[in-house]
Amino acid sequence: MDKNIMGIDFGTTNSKMAYLLLDEPTIIENNEGKKITPSIVYFKNEDEAVVGELAKRNMIVYPESTVVSIKREMGTDFKKKIGRHKFPPEYIGAQIFKKLADDAKIRLGKTFNDIVVSVPANYSDSQRQSIKDAAEIAGLNVLRLINEPTAAALAYGIKEDRDRKVLVYDFGGGTFDVSILSVSSGFFDVDASAGEHRLGGDDIDARIVEYLSKKAHEQVGIDVKKDLSLLATVRETSEEAKIALSCNESTMISIPFAANKAPFNTILTRIQLNGMISDLIERTKKPIEQALDDASLEKNEIDDILLVGGTTLIPAVRDFVTQYFGKEPVRGPDPYEAVALGAAVAGMEYGKEKSTIARNVEISDVISSSLGVLVADGTVNKILERNTKIPIIRTGNYTNAADFTNEVRIEVYQGEEEMAEDNEHLGDFFISVEPMPAFLDRV
């Protein structure tokens, strides 16, 4: 390829990066030789940040200076106070992007300035912009944001020549997305997407943390939540237990406590975990049904089900999907790697470097939420409905609501609610008009 393009999966728990090696998407290892980089940022001081495994180790000792799951705060007014400064999500996220880009250069001897970044399908415009801003603060040029399920389907379907209806069940560390795509000979056409941007492995970890905290208080009288370092230890232990129970029926948990307290030991079983998280898994059903309805499909019309995201490694999650659809999910790419691999594949489409690859890929996507404008009665007139295919141009006719005005203010909203105040306000712009009595001008 004429220029280096990297695909990045900016994850809640972990981040990954990939590129095309001899036309095949390939994961790039970080400077520690790992395929995944924890999305954790530890601030040594106001001017120096550490990202990844080292930050994860410091989380136990310096929890007040460590930020985890920053992806959940993108597009919000969250601020992390370090010394005299308060850092927004974009700045914190930029530290992760910079770590990935720097490590890629070290490992491959190539500079990656252009990237394709994956985002949850149900992300709002402000969340998407926040991710883009973070990458740009790190000095990277974002060619395109691609929805995570779409990226995963690219990794799965790059060699598929059959016409298929593919449902991507993407259960990651912080978000859940489901997308339905029509896949055919290099064409990836998104029919519908749905999801929740605050449902993921973090929520499962929180259930285990709550369980262990209660047990620790009962057995050794420790209040875990009053000790930030201890709480960080319990959180890390909870994540490790969750992973262990994906392969084993039970796992031993041992947490050494400070002062004169005895260590806390307990056994957590897979059956216990299933009971803790059954409602979280059940919550994924509604987005599935919404996506099927938007795509005008029945569940038996889905040809292939692709599981993406680390949370899909939990047996109870896989069992739920199998039981709901009445068939086993296909064996695709590693759930941890699929999104980054697909983002790299998308780079050859969005980077317009098709002459150098073995076959072309064409991608169409959809908007995750409806877009519309405020009208006189306080409601939103939708111009683009949720799951409208993009890119697209659409026009609408409006009029002036006041007499002899020189301009009309257009307020743009995103969301599904009828009243403007219940949706997300994206911004305003003004259009100059010829002054005339109300409702006579055309805009």
On whether both 89 and 111 belong to a single domain, the answer is yes
**76 shares a domain with 218:** no
- Model confidence at 260, pLDDT cuts 50, 70, 90, reads low
- Look at residue 156 and tell me whether its pLDDT is greater than 70: yes
Q: What is the DSSP letter of 376?
A: T
Query: Given this model, what pLDDT does residue 162 score?
Result: 67
Residue 442 within a domain: no
Query: Does some domain include residue 437?
Result: no
Clarify whether residues 55 and 150 are in a common domain. Answer: yes
Do 71 and 150 lie in one domain? The reply is yes
Is residue 439 one of the residues assigned to a domain?
A: no
Question: Do residues 252 and 157 share a domain?
Answer: no
Instruction: Judge whether 152 lies within some domain.
Output: yes
Does the residue 438 lie in any domain? no
Domain-located, residue 31: yes
Cα–chain-centroid distance for residue 305? 19
Choose, from 73, 170, 177, 205, the residue flagged as catalytic: 170
Same domain, 251 and 228: yes
The CATH number of the domain holding residue 387 is: 2.60.34.10
Q: Determine the pLDDT at residue 312.
A: 96
Same domain, 145 and 194: yes
Residue 213 belongs to a domain: yes
Q: Are residue 14 and residue 117 in the same domain, yes or no?
A: yes
Residues 157 and 57 both lie in one domain? yes
Instruction: Choose the final residue of a domain: 246, 279, 312.
Output: 279
Q: pLDDT tens digit string along 32-71?
A: 999 999 999 999 998 899 999 999 999 989 999 999 999 9
Number of domains comprising the chain: 3
Q: Which of 16, 71, 80, 98 is catalytic?
A: 71
Query: What b/e string do you get for 413-422 counting C-beta neighbours within 10 Å, with b at 16 or more?
Result: bbbeeeebee
Q: Which two tokens stand for residue 227?
A: 């000790």
Q: What is the arithmetic mean of pLDDT over 297-321?
A: 96
Residue 118: pLDDT above 90? yes
Domain containing 250 — which CATH number? 3.90.640.10
CA angle 272, 276, 278 (to 5 degrees): 110
Of the candidates 231, 263, 279, which is a domain's last residue?
Answer: 279
Q: Is the pLDDT of residue 353 over 60?
A: no
361 plus 378 within the same structural domain? no
Residue range 135-159: mean pLDDT, rounded: 89
Run of H or E residues at 19? strand 14-21
Distances (CA, A) of 5 to 17, 212, 243, 433: 11, 44, 32, 44
Q: Name the residue among 347, 340, 356 with its Cα closest to residue 115.
A: 347
Chain segment 226-237, per-residue pLDDT in tens: 888 889 999 999
Q: What is the pLDDT of residue 398?
A: 79
**What per-residue confidence (pLDDT) applies to 408?**
84
pLDDT digits (tens, 9 = 90+) for 96-111: 999 999 999 999 999 9
Least confident of 94-98, 207-211, 397-401, 426-430: 397-401
pLDDT at site 1:
43
Domain that holds residue 414: 371-432
pLDDT band at 197 (very low <50, low <70, confident <90, very high): confident
In a domain? residue 443:
no
- Indicate whether 181 and 329 sit together in one domain: yes
Contacts with 324 (C-beta within 8 Å, 6 or more apart), sequence order: 285, 288, 299
71 is known as an active-site residue: yes
Query: Over pLDDT 70: what percentage of the chain?
Result: 95
Q: Please provide the average confidence, as pLDDT, over all residues in the chain.
A: 90
What is the value of pTM for the model shown?
Answer: 0.86
Q: Do residues 245 and 134 share a domain?
A: no
- Going by pLDDT thresholds of 50, 70 and 90, the confidence category of residue 393 is confident
Which of the residue ranges 3-7, 100-104, 183-187, 194-198 has the most confident prediction, judged by mean pLDDT? 100-104
Residue 321 clears pLDDT 70, i.e. is over it:
yes
Q: What is the CATH number of the domain that holds 192?
A: 3.30.420.40
Check 73, 90, 103, 148 and give the catalytic one. 148
| Domain end position, chosen among 255, 279, 303 | 279
